[in-house]
Amino acid sequence: DNLLGISWVDSSWIPILNNGSVLDYFSERSNPFYDRTCNNEVVKMQRMTLDHLNQMVGVEYILLHAQEPILFIIRKQQRQSPTQVIPLADYYIIAGVIYQAPDVGSVINSRVLTAVHGIQSAFEEAMSYCRYHPSKGYWWHFKDQEEREKTKPKAKKKEEPSSIFQRQRVDALLLDLRQKFPPRFVQQKPGEKPIPVDQIKKEPEPAPEAVKPEEKETVKNTQSAGAKGPPEKRMRLQ
């Protein structure tokens, strides 16, 4: 079973924890990290000292490091001979609470899972802000940006003056619309009621004066004479 996610503590032992009592504290029956089939249990039942562990073969627990009264490290190892052991697991006791130290594989596995979870969460959050439309394509839609735009005071945009090309183009379009759709009502003076165009009296145009044919000929002669210019002067012979 994976014991990396659990811990164990007995508050009655915390005031008396030291180098001599920490192994007895670790060998409590309610401790899930303790193996009752170990050599420490055999030595305890036979009332021998811990020095006899070096002469035995099997699983045993030893005090690896102590920093009274806050930190103790206990190692579980497989003894094959008085000089050869194989470490199996390490346990650390901090303020009376026992934890199992993770191995390198568990640490790497945990770090990789944490990194993958963070990357996956980032991709999911990024995809929630992504939008697509056939006519626009892809774009980002952030909720925080909308709230900021709502809270920000809207600055008045300065209207840029129109160019000559724009004015000429607008005048041409207005003239074209006026010819296609002539006005039906006209307001002659400001404040007056508009009057239909049909009711406006048009002033009679002056009739062309009748011109006599004789006057026409005189006018033509004068025009032709004016076009020819003055006669040339001739030199007199003496």
Res 88: pLDDT: 93
Q: Which amino acid is at 176?
A: D
Of 111, 100, 80, 107, nearest in space to 1 by CA: 100
Res 158: pLDDT: 67
Per-residue pLDDT of the chain (238 residues; tens, 9 = 90+): 678 889 999 999 999 999 989 999 999 989 999 999 999 999 988 888 888 888 899 999 999 999 988 999 999 999 999 889 999 999 999 999 999 999 888 899 999 999 999 999 999 988 888 888 888 888 888 777 666 666 766 666 666 777 888 888 888 888 888 888 887 777 777 777 777 777 766 555 555 555 455 555 555 555 555 445 555 555 555 4
Question: Do 73 and 64 meet the contact criterion of CB atoms below 8 Å apart?
Answer: yes
Is residue 197 in some structural domain? no
Is residue 16 in some structural domain? yes
Same domain, 36 and 115: no
Same domain, 43 and 58: yes
Beta-carbon count within 10 A of 54 CB: 14
Is residue 190 in some structural domain? no
Res 119: pLDDT: 94
Same domain, 51 and 84: yes
Same domain, 128 and 61: no
Same domain, 23 and 69: yes
Res 238: pLDDT: 45
Is residue 218 in some structural domain? no
Assigned token pair, 107: 């640490």
Same domain, 93 and 34: yes
Is residue 44 in some structural domain? yes
Q: Which tens digits make up the pLDDT trace of 62-82?
A: 999 999 889 999 999 999 998
Is residue 83 in some structural domain? yes
Domain harbouring 8, CATH code: 3.10.450.580
Question: Do 131 and 140 meet the contact criterion of CB atoms below 8 Å apart?
Answer: yes
Same domain, 86 and 12: yes
Helix, strand, or coil (residue 87): strand
Is residue 146 in some structural domain? no
Is residue 79 in some structural domain? yes
Helix, strand, or coil (residue 22): helix
Distance CA 99, CA 7 (A): 5
Domain that holds residue 66: 3-101
Res 145: pLDDT: 65
Same domain, 133 and 113: yes
Same domain, 66 and 25: yes
Res 74: pLDDT: 95
Same domain, 51 and 130: no
Assigned token pair, 176: 């074209």
Q: How many domains does the chain have?
A: 2
- Tell me which H or E stretch contains 165: helix 164-180
Distance CA 32, CA 10 (A): 12
Pairing of strands 58-67, 71-81: antiparallel
Same domain, 96 and 107: no
The count of C-alpha atoms lying within 13 angstroms of the C-alpha of 212, restricted to the half-sphere facing its C-beta, is 3
Question: Do 105 and 94 meet the contact criterion of CB atoms below 8 Å apart?
Answer: no
